[in-house]
Amino acid sequence: MISFESDYIAGAHPAVLKRLCDTNLESLPGYGSDKYCEAAKEKIKKACNLPDAQVEFIAGGTQTNAVVISTMLKDYEGVVAATTGHVSAHEAGAIEYTGHEVLTVPGHEGKMYASELKSFIETFYGDEAHDHMVFPGMVYISHPTEYGTLYSKKELSDIASVCREYTIPLFLDGARLAYGLMSKDTDLTLEDIANITDVFYIGGTKVGALCGEAVVFTKGNRPAHFLTSVKKRGALLAKGRLLGVQFDALFTDDLYFEIGKHAIEMAEKLKGMFRDKGYEFFIESPTNQQFVLLTDEQYDRIKKQVAISFWEKPDSTHTVVRLATGWSTSDEDLKELGQYL
């Protein structure tokens, strides 16, 4: 059965896997101190055009969010996210497990508004502010969001301005960053993101790696003894090379961007196929995740032939499903999908 279930249905991109094979026999020191981690960091800094950035690799996305948020927040602070943000809704309580609250502002197709963020933060600074509430100590956004949508450069800058006004770091979760960067509807480059945010991560798991995310601290703000904090959270791999080699491959010859570009092209075609057959979209997504509104009959029929993800039930007779493309999505997959629509 063909699958559009997610962007992590296949193994590694062939070029990533090849690099793992090519380097497999080398003796390397552990815990991320090997030369491939080093090389990958350099390549990422170059891609960000930010020579002073500090790059660290962590195995998975939930883990990355938990590690970054909990090491950067102060004891009395929480992280602000959109109600639909991954850390608010889909992390099984991983942020709260670190002892910190997730504070929420409204989500608009996955995005937060700078104006609403500002209003929210302001309430902690007024005349009547008091110490009985969790203080907003970081702003978390995902880009693309959980609904595939993207912030414009202006929107991101506006959020960053609010953050700067209150000296709160802005953290961008880029689990699917490649798909945002290569969307036709974006004016944000990797360099922009590195400049505008305080910390962000470049997702590998959902963009051609077997596992791994690259955290980029953009302002010399990596927490002290970060390695120890990572280990304390169980997030340090003995064979750190596994992450270094993969990211080295992803940032060689623009592979990371090529993967993004390919998935976007496939998503555009997929979108066209659904549209041509008269399906409605639940949301207008410019990235690799597409959210289609199906009647329950359509849903029951299609899911027998194609692996897709249930998303939500907007009413009693419809179902929203998600289809995702990735590095392994092929024209043949799309053709077969077309037969079942």
> 245 to 304, contacts with a second copy by CB under 8 A?
none
Binders in 6-35 for a second copy, by CB under 8 A: 6, 8-12, 14, 17, 20-21, 23-31
Structure tokens at 72: 């950067």
Angle at 224 between CA 99 and CA 85, to 5 degrees: 40
Q: Which residues pair with 55 in a beta bridge?
A: 216
Choice between 13 and 48, CB closer to a second copy: 13
> Least distance in Å: CB of 46 to a second copy?
26
Among 134, 252, 257, 341, binds a second copy (CB under 8 A): 134
Find out whether 110 and 147 touch, Cβ atoms under 8 Å: yes
> Least distance in Å: CB of 2 to a second copy?
7
Choice between 90 and 335, CB closer to a second copy: 90
Among 138, 190, 210, 270, binds a second copy (CB under 8 A): 210
C-alpha dihedral sign at 285, 291, 292, 295: negative
334 is a site residue for a second copy (CB under 8 A): no
Among 183, 285, 325, 328, binds a second copy (CB under 8 A): 328
C-alpha to C-alpha distance for 197 and 200, rounded to whole angstroms: 7
Tell how far CA 289 is from the center of its chain. 12
Among 51, 167, 220, 224, binds a second copy (CB under 8 A): 224
56 is a site residue for a second copy (CB under 8 A): no
C-alpha closest to that of 322 among 292, 298, 283: 292
Segment interacting with a second copy (CB under 8 A) among 98-106, 249-257, 279-287, 288-296: 98-106
> Least distance in Å: CB of 148 to a second copy?
17
Segment interacting with a second copy (CB under 8 A) among 75-83, 156-164, 267-275, 289-297: 75-83
> Least distance in Å: CB of 144 to a second copy?
16
Residue with tokens 């979209």: 281
> Least distance in Å: CB of 93 to a second copy?
4
Residue with tokens 């990533």: 16
The secondary structure of residue 26, as a DSSP letter, is -
SS3 at position 190: helix
Among 46, 90, 154, 275, binds a second copy (CB under 8 A): 90
Find out whether 171 and 69 touch, Cβ atoms under 8 Å: yes
Tell how far CA 171 is from the center of its chain. 11
